[in-house]
Structure 1
Amino acid sequence: MALRPSPSSSWMSGLDFPNQLFEMGQDDYELYEQDDEFVLSVEMPGFDPDEIEVTWDEGVLNIAGEHTDESRNRRRTYHRRFRFPKTVADEDISARYRNGILEIHLPVVEGAVTQGTEIEIEH
């Protein structure tokens, strides 16, 4: 007996609908710490710098973008939030968008340490 496609996959097969739509955003960024700053690189190909908004609010970096391709009648949106564990020098945050990559530098306040409580691990 041959397997029939499930109803959800058969109705989507005829549409010009990318399968990765629901998976996108998992590996679209890289975050690392170097030389007393966080560096965040986000892949956002096809966006113009004017279509991207980067905001900082009390330890949370918010990145939002909206791109409309009128020739294809398509709209793409991007939204992601990042919470940082150390105190960042708000005034010194910088961002640059080039070749589809948004790169943000978030300098850590000198002497800042991560606040928290050690959690005991049971054996």
Structure 2
Amino acid sequence: MKTLVRNYDSLFNELFNNAYSSSSVLSPSANIKETDNAYTIELAIPGFTKDDFKIEVRDRVLEVSSVSQSENEEQKESYIRKEFSYSSFSRSFRLPRTVDTDQISATYENGVLNLALPKKEEAKVKEPRLISVN
């Protein structure tokens, strides 16, 4: 009988503590692309606004983070329901020395945060120069 009670408690905790939890911590997936002039990082982060993000560069480490909180209250007949929602994330990227950290820019559209990381002039691919022999 003890085993049955333990299994029931475990099931109860699994259903009501995990499956219906209204807080989440996520680590968004990133797409990173390199061109001759820049790097691009795309992070899929739906449900935020552009004001929710904190983007910092320190010692060649780019950190993107956010904390979002909301509260909903519903009153009907003889019951009250109040739900809190909390979601946050933090993602860091080690930048190569070729990135011009003063020129990094970000846009947020349709749930995707796009970071543009331009390369320094000396790191950009240059056309070959023909040298004549005298």
- Relative to the length of structure 2, the TM-score reads 0.66
What's the Cα RMSD here? 2.8
1:104 alignment partner, one of 90, 115, 132? 115
Structure 1 residue 44: deviation in Å? 1.2
The aligned counterpart of 1:118 is none
Distance in 1 separating the partners of 2:7 and 2:69: 32
1:1-123 to structure 2, matched below 5 A, reads 10=11, 11-15=13-17, 16-17=20-21, 24-25=26-27, 28-71=29-72, 72-112=83-123
Q: Provide Cα deviations, 1:36-90, integer angstroms capped at 9, x if missing partner.
A: 2110001111111111011111211010111112124111011111002232112
Distance in 1 between residues matched to 2:68 and 2:39, nearest whole Å: 27
Mark the structure with the bigger radius of gyration. 2
Q: Is the 8 A contact 1:30 1:41 kept in 2?
A: yes
Partner Cα distance (1:76, 1:62) in 2: 17
- For residues 9 and 105 of structure 1, the distance between their equivalents in structure 2, rounded to whole angstroms, comes to 47
Answer 1 or 2: which has greater strand percent. Answer: 2
Q: Secondary structure at the match of 1:63?
A: strand
Flag structure 1 segments of 5+ consecutive residues without an equivalent.
114-123
Letter in 2 for 1:66: V
Q: Aligned equivalents of 2:64 and 2:30: distance in 1?
A: 11
Residue 48 of structure 1 aligns to which amino acid in structure 2? T
The answer (yes or no) to whether the contact 1:59–1:87 under 8 Å persists in 2 is no
Change (3 A) 1:9 1:46: farther
CA distance in 2, matches of 1:97, 1:9: 41
Structure showing the higher helix proportion among its residues: 2
Return 5+ residue gaps in structure 2 as ranges: 73-82, 125-134
